[in-house]
Chains A and B, each alone.
Chain A
Amino acid sequence: MRTRSIAATGLGFQLFRHAVLGLGAFLMLAPFVIMISVSLKPSGEIFAPEFTLLPKQWHAWQNYADAFTKQPLARYILNGFIVTGSIFACQLLTALPCAYALAKLRWRGRETMFMLVLLGLLIPPQVTAIPLYILLWQVGLLNTYAAIILPSTISVFGIFLMRQFFLTVPDDLINAARLDGLGEFAIVWRIMMPTAMPAVIAFGVLSLVWNWNEFFWPLIVVQSEHLATPPLGVVFFANAEAGTNYGPLMAAATAITAPLVIAFLAAQRWFIDGVTMTAVK
Chain B
Amino acid sequence: MSDLALAAPTRLDHRAHARAGETAEQLAAWVLAGPAFALIWILLLGPTVAVFVLSFTDWTFGMPEIAWAGLENYREMAGDAVFWKTLRNTLTYVAFVVPLSVFLGLGAAILIEAGESLRGFYRAAFFLPVVSTLLAMALVFQFAFHPTVGAINRTLALVGIPTTDWLKNPDTALFALGVIGIWQAIGLSMVLFIAGLKAIPKDLYEAAAVDGADGPFERFRRVTWPMLGPAMLFVVTITAIRAFQVFDTVQVLTDGGPNKATNVLLFQMYQEGFSFLRSAYAAALTVVFLGFVLLVTVIQVRLQERNTHYG
Q: Check B2 for interface membership: any CB of A closer than 8 A.
A: no
- Nearest CB to that of B135 among chain A residues? A231
The A-contacting residues of B in range 265-296, CB under 8 angstroms, are 266, 269-270, 273-274, 279, 282-283, 286, 289-290, 293-294
Instruction: State the Cβ distance, B30 to closest chain A Cβ, in Å.
Output: 7
Q: Check B308 for interface membership: any CB of A closer than 8 A.
A: no
Distance in angstroms between the alpha carbons of A21 and B113 in the assembled complex: 11
Instruction: State the Cβ distance, B297 to closest chain A Cβ, in Å.
Output: 6
Distance in angstroms between the alpha carbons of A254 and B48 in the assembled complex: 37
Residues of A within 8 A of B (CB): 2, 9, 13-14, 17-18, 20-21, 24-25, 27-32, 34-35, 38, 46-49, 51, 93-95, 97-98, 100-102, 105-110, 113, 116-117, 119-120, 122-124, 126-135, 137, 150-151, 153-154, 156, 159, 183-185, 188, 209, 212-213, 215-216, 219-220, 230-231, 234-235, 238, 243, 246, 249-250, 252-254, 256-257, 260-261, 264-265, 268, 271-272, 275-276, 278-279, 281
Distance in angstroms between the alpha carbons of A117 and B96 in the assembled complex: 32
Which of these, B29, B45, B297, contacts A105 with CB under 8 Å? B29
Residues in B neighbouring A49, C-beta threshold 8 A: 149
The A-contacting residues of B in range 10-41, CB under 8 angstroms, are 22, 25-26, 28-33, 35-37, 39-41
Whether the Cβ atoms of A122 and B294 lie closer than 8 Å is yes
Instruction: State the Cβ distance, A137 to closest chain B Cβ, in Å.
Output: 8
Secondary structure call for the B interface: helix
Residues in B neighbouring A2, C-beta threshold 8 A: 214
Whether the Cβ atoms of B44 and A130 lie closer than 8 Å is no
Residues in A neighbouring B229, C-beta threshold 8 A: none
Whether the Cβ atoms of B137 and A14 lie closer than 8 Å is no
Q: Check B165 for interface membership: any CB of A closer than 8 A.
A: no
> Contacts A47-B149, A124-B293, A130-B51: A256 and B43 contacting too (C-beta < 8 A)?
no
Secondary structure call for the A interface: helix
Whether the Cβ atoms of B32 and A185 lie closer than 8 Å is yes
Whether the Cβ atoms of A131 and B51 lie closer than 8 Å is yes
